[in-house]
Structure 1
């Protein structure tokens, strides 16, 4: 009760009480969710247009999978709507209350918000591939062996519980309003929907150099050895160029989509949870507590050194 009163006081004193009420799912949609609602008819229209172009190629389009992808996206939206306001927003409000700078919304701060969100997205996305706890939620997005617009909707309903939204908290602490952060993030995701396609080949060179494009994102979804864990950018690809994770799509090496370990089943629950099950199974193997917990932040392919397991009388995993 005291904690709730303290949080309400923080929200009220920081001028965010109205914003808190706006994002409370039982009261209203927030601006970020509203953008997704407005964009959804466009997503469906573009997906139908693409379907008419590729429907005869089963390697590119499977109607049942496309419907499943939209169902996965709906599950993601429902949990975001129900829980973002009570899990993520209090921490954003707290950071914004203790912000370092007083920033007014101008063209300059708006552009800085966009750049900041895109920069944070890069590191969030990179962590989602290189830290297994985050990968457990993100893997569903990569588990399809097809690349089309419906693949963009292939999201995990557990995302809100994994805490990857915490990567954007420093922006609120600096002084960027959480509303701006949410809007910039939503617009970035809308942009990223349109790079999930095989129909767009190469764009003009300056665009390919600066922006994340269908060509770059096809590489990101490839399971070819040279393509795995590359091209993490959201709207911009320059972060990958700066931090050494960029790989160009090679004409003689077309991406093979999917993940290296096939999904055991195609039901929604299995798609959402299979990596969590494998993660907790590996953590449950005997060994020192610190070594067992290391599975959470180690890369998905990491296994404990054989010596750790042999010391417990166990065989190393194959």
Structure 2
């Protein structure tokens, strides 16, 4: 049924549909309604700070600019590359009631490694840092995304599935479902859920810890829908102390352009500083906190 629906949309819109952005755009009214409900819940809880409207407006602006950038890059560059890879696939993976869940788990596995790389490789962190730069947590924080994601290459992490033979429309439709779920874990309005659920799935509690700049929370809980890969690969942490949201080297700005490019520009400034070539290039692929051995003062950690 899913594949039939995707085929129908392709017949209507052509082969180069950006499924991720189509689904997320279609979910926008639900996202905004959920935030309105969350706001009313938080307003009734005096111990919880209310979302700052200026930050909410910034998040909405970042979400809109991200959508536009993703559509453009997909139409001009990444969509054609993805179709080319699929044309050279190894197999034809069937999509049916028996395979849809394993395919979704495979998409989640790819997302785990994309998300982990986005914290541990500065090239990818230069886009992902935007998402972590808010010092509050509410549903609109999920919309706080970067225009640079497609440029830095998030989609490359899902190409193994396309190359194996999973139709791109299926991969990115399921990834959109993964991202839509994640919208609802960006909140302080929901406490801890039953222990079995917290063990298997990403939850508001697990994801609050992910957004913390507390030392124990940094670089933990990368899962989107599932948290089991974090448990298997040693990146899980339980939320057991108040979360301090944001990034260690906090940028305090509501300028959408500044938020999008500040780390990307600083990364290239570090690359262009004089020094051995291998050290200069390591600013691209090293972890965000890496600094050159010759520098006396250690660079504070950038990731969260």
- Same fold, judged at TM 0.5 (above): yes
Decide which of 217, 222, 246 is 1:258's aligned counterpart.
Answer: 246
**Higher relative contact order structure (alpha carbons within 8 Å, sequence separation ≥ 6):** 2
1:60–1:146 contact (8 Å) kept in structure 2: no
Compared CA separation, residues 220 and 93, structure 1 to 2 (3 A) = same
Partner of 2:188: 198
RMSD between aligned alpha carbons? 2.0
Deviation per residue, 1:180-217 (Å, 9 max, x gap): 00101100000000000011111111111110000000
Partner of 1:31: 19
Partner of 1:176: 166
Matching of residues 100-139 of structure 1 within 5 Å: 100-139=90-129
Partner of 2:37: 49
**1:109 positional shift:** 2.1
| In structure 1, distance between residues paired with 2:107 and 2:120 | 20
Decide which of 147, 150, 153 is 1:157's aligned counterpart.
Answer: 147
Compared CA separation, residues 54 and 301, structure 1 to 2 (3 A) = same
2:18–2:74 contact (8 Å) kept in structure 1: no
TM-score normalised by length of structure 1: 0.86
Decide which of 290, 293, 309 is 2:281's aligned counterpart.
Answer: 293
Partner of 2:263: 275
Partner of 1:189: 179
| In structure 1, distance between residues paired with 2:34 and 2:274 | 50
**1:265 positional shift:** 2.7
**1:19 positional shift:** 7.4
Unaligned 5+ runs, structure 2 = 1-6, 300-304
**1:60 positional shift:** 4.1
| In structure 2, distance between residues paired with 1:20 and 1:163 | 28
Name the count of aligned residue pairs: 289
Decide which of 67, 74, 78 is 1:84's aligned counterpart.
Answer: 74
Compared CA separation, residues 281 and 264, structure 1 to 2 (3 A) = farther
> Which deviates the most, 56-65 or 224-233?
56-65
Decide which of 58, 78, 86 is 1:68's aligned counterpart.
Answer: 58
Match of 1:195, SS state, is coil
Is it true that 1:220 corresponds to 2:210 in the alignment?
yes
1:23–1:30 contact (8 Å) kept in structure 2: no
| In structure 2, distance between residues paired with 1:301 and 1:173 | 33
Decide which of 212, 234, 237 is 1:244's aligned counterpart.
Answer: 234
